[in-house]
Amino acid sequence: MKNMYPTNGKVILHVDMNSFYASVEMAYDATLKGKPLAIAGNVEERRGIIITCSYEARRLGVKTTMPLWEAKRLCPHLIIKKPNFERYRKASLAMFEFLRSYTPVVEPVSVDEGYMDITECFEKGSPIELAQEIQTKLYEQLKLPCSIGIAPNKFLAKMASDMKKPMGITILRKRDVPHVLWPLTVGEMHGIGSKTAEKLKGIGIETIGDLAKGNDVQLKTLLGINGERLLQRANGIDNRSVDPDSISDFKSIGNSTTLPQDTTHLEEIYEVMKRLSASVARRIRRKNMMTTNVQLTIRYSDRKTITRSRKLNNPIELEEDIYRAALYLWKHHWNEEAVRLIGITAQDLVEKGEAYKQLDLFSFEKDAKKEPLMKVMNELIQKYGNDVVKKGMSRSDEENIGDNHHGTSFEKDFLSDLNNNKNSNN
């Protein structure tokens, strides 16, 4: 089988679970199989929003982010269930444990997708045989369907897995790029959202092929360093390795300031917190990141220092959202003594292109008006289709999954659990 693998190169699989939340519900309750099923927040409310839906529902016109009333109009027999994040967590952990039975080089990138480097797995079969076996056994053992992309790098593997859904397997080689990828519009390329696509169209780049032949200086001027990266991707170049330890990479950006004098004056303190929030917001935006956890540091006049953090329902980047999270912490943890120093830190940062937002009745319609979050939502829908809601749920260790009163980080907790499981098996 070794001759089925490249002499100097890699074989990467991108495993993408199909309509994950709906599929997990069907695996749990076999009577749901083959029926139009939707997962939605606030199912009792007319203005509830569809989070994800089965392929049977999609064929009838039901889509992610669609209001419940519209979905029911299109599909009167639509079965609607509330999300069960504990159930999805268990299914995801089982899925990744299964993938690691083939190779330890597995990189989870969300609750329902990950990369596998199978370059050294030639004794277990050819790449296509391995992909077929993984797909078949995931369905047999966990009752979960998936699509798999096979390619020499992560970008091409991701593009390949999106080409046949559900239950598809696609091979995409570098030599296939000109006739398979280049005819596609730039908006269909992984990593390009609607805003970037519009910018590219403004300079005459309509297709991935146009981008591949673009001017690197012009692209860098238009999009910064991301322009160079996208040019390489369009040509099928991606040198990133599959990194099993990436789930442990928790980043943070923060600012603190020592006050001119120790104070308990709230108006002064709040102004300082607003300035710190604005500074942190600017810095994370420059890095094209969002935060899922805000930390507040308070140092009192006696030099006693406390730090308190709050995990968030949804990734944020705006100054007012960071300030609101910090203010919540302040009101719950300040002991009313004089303060010497205040610090605000954005923790557990995620790249905008990888940020997932929980769609719910109360936040979706409001946030959709905010351009940065709308950009993320558009990229999400283009990148992952209807199965869009994954990252952004969070919880403190002592809180129950799905407890939205305090706010939870389903994805970060899941990755933390996954990392702990991986380390315990080493």
pLDDT along the chain (426 residues), means of 10: 83 96 96 95 71 94 90 94 89 94 91 94 93 98 97 97 96 97 97 91 97 96 92 96 72 85 94 95 86 92 88 88 96 94 90 53 43 47 45 29 31 54 55
Q: Give yes or no: residues 352 and 254 share one domain.
A: yes
Q: Is residue 267 domain-resident?
A: yes
Q: Is residue 274 domain-resident?
A: yes
> Residue holding tokens 């000109």?
178
Q: Give yes or no: residues 271 and 318 share one domain.
A: yes
Q: Let me know how many helices (H) and strands (E) the chain has, helices first.
A: 16, 12
Final residue before a domain boundary, out of 333, 356, 379: 356
Q: Is residue 278 domain-resident?
A: yes
Q: Give yes or no: residues 309 and 217 share one domain.
A: no
Cα(147)–Cα(212) distance, integer angstroms? 26
For residue 227, what are the domain limits? Answer: 185-234
Q: Is residue 134 domain-resident?
A: no
At residue 394, the pLDDT reads 31
Dihedral sign for Cα 106, 176, 130, 119, please: negative
Q: Give yes or no: residues 324 and 227 share one domain.
A: no
Q: Is residue 349 domain-resident?
A: yes
Residue 302 annotated as binding site: no
Tokens of residue 120, six digits: 């050294």
CATH number, position 217: 1.10.150.20
Q: Give yes or no: residues 222 and 254 share one domain.
A: no
CATH number, position 346: 3.30.1490.100
Residue 397 annotated as binding site: no
According to DSSP, residue 67 is labeled: B
Q: Give yes or no: residues 260 and 206 share one domain.
A: no
Looking at the structure of the chain, the number of domains it has is 2
At residue 420, the pLDDT reads 55
Final residue before a domain boundary, out of 234, 267, 298: 234
Q: Give yes or no: residues 198 and 288 share one domain.
A: no
Q: Give yes or no: residues 270 and 298 share one domain.
A: yes
Q: Given the residues 25, 56, 107, 113, select the one marked as catalytic.
A: 113
At residue 335, the pLDDT reads 93
Whether 44 is catalytic: no
Final residue before a domain boundary, out of 356, 383, 405: 356
Q: Give yes or no: residues 210 and 264 share one domain.
A: no
CB 279 within 8 A of CB 297: no
Q: Is residue 271 domain-resident?
A: yes
Q: Give yes or no: residues 267 and 199 share one domain.
A: no
Q: Give yes or no: residues 340 and 254 share one domain.
A: yes
Q: Is residue 423 domain-resident?
A: no
CB 352 within 8 A of CB 288: yes
At residue 123, the pLDDT reads 87
Cα(120)–Cα(24) distance, integer angstroms? 31
Q: Is residue 343 domain-resident?
A: yes
Q: Give yes or no: residues 225 and 315 share one domain.
A: no
Tokens of residue 257, six digits: 């300031």
3-state SS assignment for residue 396: coil
